[in-house]
Amino acid sequence: MKIDMHSHAFAESIAERAMASLKANIPPDFHTPYDGRLPSLVRELKSHGFDHAVLCQIATKPTQFKPILDWSRAIRDGQLGEDAARMILPLPSVHPADPNLEAHVREIAREGFKGIKLHPYYQGFVLDDPVPLDLFRMARDNGLFVEIHAGFDIGFPFEDVCGPRRTMRVVESVPGLRLMISHFGGWRAWDEADKVLIGAPVDLEISMSIGWCATALLRSMLLRHPADRLYFGSDWPWSEYDKTLPFLDSLDLPADRQAALMGGNAARFLGLP
Ligand SMILES: [Zn+2]
């Protein structure tokens, strides 16, 4: 089983505009050859032998709850093709300022989705503040996992709103929460992630660490973290499988650790057969 725990794609009607505005916000060396459309993601997954990808969506304002949920349903129900329905696992999103937060979290769970995605920079909150902590409790109590952006973000000033220490406070404050921590504990906060998260009982998805984190530290973190709590993620369309997959192979990890990382752990985490 080969699973990508972190991808993005946009509905046809907004893909072009969304990719243009995201690209306008980031330096050119971060640019991507991909168009961010769902059929392109499915094609890339198939050509690199992936069985599934988790699709992370972000409600940047409370009103985006419904269009995101509708598109997630359309993917799930096959309206965007059989391959997408089989391969893509959409994570809807809620905005912490949503006046109907609890009802919307319940609705996501009732629809059968496995989790939600939150991004503190794009949603304007600090990870371990009281409102998000309540939201994490609601997700836990409704059987949903939460995938969070972690560390800094290329599109925003480097102010710590979801660094490894804040993430650890969430883990300690909401026992039983199933938290998928992106970017190997914190994008460009890997020294702190190494001290605070590596070796702890936390689930770490490694997107955007390959090519950004120093190779020696990356390999050491991959070897020292519990083998059953590591997950491959790409952050597609922001990285290329043709670069990340050969790089991972070149690290020469023990075969069982690599297999767990590439999908065995994700299948278990997501409850896939
Ligand atoms: Zn992402």
What are the tens digits of pLDDT across the range 42-77?
A: 999 999 999 999 999 999 999 999 999 999 999 999
CATH code for the domain of 48: 3.20.20.140
31 pLDDT exceeds 90?
no
Ligand 1 centroid, distance to 235 Cα (angstroms): 5
Ligand 1 centroid, distance to 107 Cα (angstroms): 23
The Cα 222–Cα 263 span in angstroms is: 15
**Cβ neighbour number for residue 49 with a 10 Å cutoff:** 11
Q: What is the mean pLDDT of the chain?
A: 96
**Cβ neighbour number for residue 20 with a 10 Å cutoff:** 11
130 pLDDT exceeds 90?
yes
32 pLDDT exceeds 90?
no
Omega into 237 within 30° of 0, i.e. cis? yes
Ligand 1 centroid, distance to 60 Cα (angstroms): 13
Ligand 1 centroid, distance to 233 Cα (angstroms): 9
Residue 126: closest CA among 168, 158, 160: 160
Ligand 1 centroid, distance to 181 Cα (angstroms): 11
**Amino acid code (one letter) for 149:** H
Ligand 1 centroid, distance to 220 Cα (angstroms): 23
CA separation (Å) from 91 to 200, 201, 257?
25, 23, 26
Residue 272's pLDDT band (cuts 50, 70, 90): very high
pLDDT of residue 62: 97
Residue 183's pLDDT band (cuts 50, 70, 90): very high
For residue 151, give its domain range: 3-270
Domain count, the chain: 1
| Percentage of the residues of the chain whose pLDDT score is greater than 90 | 89
Ligand 1 centroid, distance to 56 Cα (angstroms): 7
Ligand 1 centroid, distance to 147 Cα (angstroms): 10
